[in-house]
């Protein structure tokens, strides 16, 4: 009887903890949205340096293998850092193709990656037209899908091929799948069978697709050229959301202009952050009120970002990956 009472008490405590955790996360989200709205209209917030990198940061995620660290791609290598402490994982500054351990391995542009397990990363090797795996425990790179180096192309199936693939995410609607931005299509990669299937078949609208992000219902937002599109998960239809000709303009979604937008970050249901690469800004798209504004990170009339490429949110902190560094800002509640 006493044992059952302890189990019951533990369950009650656990439920209470989950409710408290959910409420806390919701409050943080509300505060973050208020911060984004405030900062896009008023004085700039403060940017702080997180870490210096050798080349360009194309993608970053909170590190599942080393909690408290951020794992990021630095052109042809993977590294992990918590600001004052940085470690090499695999690759080097020299591009090429070679499987190996740590710095022995060579890549030709790590433009995307996804942690499918705490100790296993799938890497998009853009210039070598393939996907590769990295074992975090041994720091060894391994061929995964596609024929690296000489055999690029666009072929579905179990012997599939890629043509300058860019970014990759885990499919929220099917955890056995990855979604890959590849030249002019979004492709499905089955993690276990390694089979490649079309998510959205080749389309002129997607020519030059770069980054993608997925919302909770499965719909995708993607950057293509100087535009942003939405792809319906249920219908596989492609809808223009924002942008058009290259330039800079804060306006309604369809009237706005970007210059090589890259990484995307969804905040809640209605706010989409975009790393506007060549404009050297972070732009805030409000999907509900139909407007685009810049996130005021720099003093008025100045450019303090160095060609931002990717974005990451951890709690209330926004991290911006760019040329030669990762910077961050924090809203003070």
Band of residue 38 on the pLDDT scale cut at 50, 70, 90: very low
How far apart are alpha carbons 287 and 58 in whole angstroms?
Answer: 25
CATH class of 40-330: mainly beta
Q: What is the pLDDT of residue 298?
A: 82
DSSP assignment, residue 45? Answer: P
Kindly state the greatest CA–CA separation across the chain.
71
Question: Does residue 19 register a pLDDT over 70?
Answer: no
CA distance readout (Å), 294 to 42, 227, 237, 245: 11, 16, 28, 18
For the stretch 172-177, contacts whose Cβ atoms lie closer than 8 Å and that sit 24 or more positions apart, written own/partner, are 172/214, 172/216, 172/218, 173/218, 173/233
Q: What is the pLDDT of residue 147?
A: 87
Phi and psi at 314, nearest 5°, equal -135, 105
How far apart are alpha carbons 167 and 186 in whole angstroms?
Answer: 10
How far apart are alpha carbons 44 and 318 in whole angstroms?
Answer: 14
Going by C-alpha positions, the residue among 168, 162, 164, 154 that lies closest to residue 113 is 168
How crowded is the C-beta side of 93, counted as CA atoms within 13 Å? 5
The pLDDT tens digits of the residues spanning 185-236 come to 999 999 999 999 999 988 889 999 999 999 999 999 999 999 999 999 999 9
How far apart are alpha carbons 232 and 229 in whole angstroms?
Answer: 10
Going by C-alpha positions, the residue among 143, 125, 146 that lies closest to residue 133 is 143
Q: What is the pLDDT of residue 32?
A: 56
Question: Does residue 260 register a pLDDT over 50?
Answer: yes
Question: Does residue 24 register a pLDDT over 50?
Answer: no
Going by C-alpha positions, the residue among 231, 275, 285 that lies closest to residue 60 is 275
Calculate what percentage of the chain has a pLDDT beyond 70.
Answer: 85
The pLDDT tens digits of the residues spanning 115-169 come to 999 999 999 999 999 999 999 999 999 999 998 976 678 899 998 999 999 999 9
Band of residue 11 on the pLDDT scale cut at 50, 70, 90: very low
Going by C-alpha positions, the residue among 109, 78, 72 that lies closest to residue 91 is 78
């Amino acid at each position: 009887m006493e044992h059952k009472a302890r189990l019951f008490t533990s369950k009650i405590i656990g439920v209470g903890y989950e409710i408290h955790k959910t409420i806390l996360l919701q409050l943080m989200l509300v505060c973050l949205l208020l911060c984004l709205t405030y900062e896009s209209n008023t004085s700039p917030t403060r940017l702080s340096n997180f870490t210096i990198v050798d080349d360009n940061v194309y993608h970053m995620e909170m590190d599942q293998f080393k909690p408290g660290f951020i794992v990021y791609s630095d052109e042809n290598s993977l590294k992990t850092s918590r600001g004052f402490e940085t470690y090499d994982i695999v690759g080097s500054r020299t591009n090429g193709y070679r499987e190996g351990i740590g710095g022995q391995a060579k890549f030709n542009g790590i433009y995307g990656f996804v942690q499918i397990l705490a100790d296993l990363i799938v890497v998009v090797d853009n210039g070598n037209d393939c996907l590769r795996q990295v074992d975090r425990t041994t720091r060894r790179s391994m061929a995964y899908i596609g024929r690296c180096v000489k055999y690029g192309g666009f072929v579905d199936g179990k012997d599939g091929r890629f043509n300058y693939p860019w970014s990759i995410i885990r499919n929220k609607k099917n955890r056995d799948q990855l979604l890959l931005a590849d030249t002019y299509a979004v492709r499905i990669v089955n993690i276990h069978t390694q089979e490649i299937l079309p998510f959205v078949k080749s389309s002129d609208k997607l020519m030059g697709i770069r980054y993608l992000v997925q919302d909770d219902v499965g719909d995708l937002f993607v950057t293509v050229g100087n535009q942003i599109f939405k792809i319906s998960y249920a219908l596989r239809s492609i809808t223009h959301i924002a942008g058009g000709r290259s330039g800079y303009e804060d306006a309604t979604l369809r009237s706005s202009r970007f210059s090589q937008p890259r990484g995307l970050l969804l905040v809640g249901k209605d706010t989409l952050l975009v790393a506007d690469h060549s404009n050297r800004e972070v732009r805030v798209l409000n999907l509900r009120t139909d407007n685009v504004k810049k996130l005021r990170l720099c003093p008025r009339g100045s450019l303090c970002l160095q060609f931002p490429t990717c974005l990451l949110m951890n709690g209330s902190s926004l991290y911006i990956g760019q040329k030669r560094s990762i910077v961050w800002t924090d809203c003070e509640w």
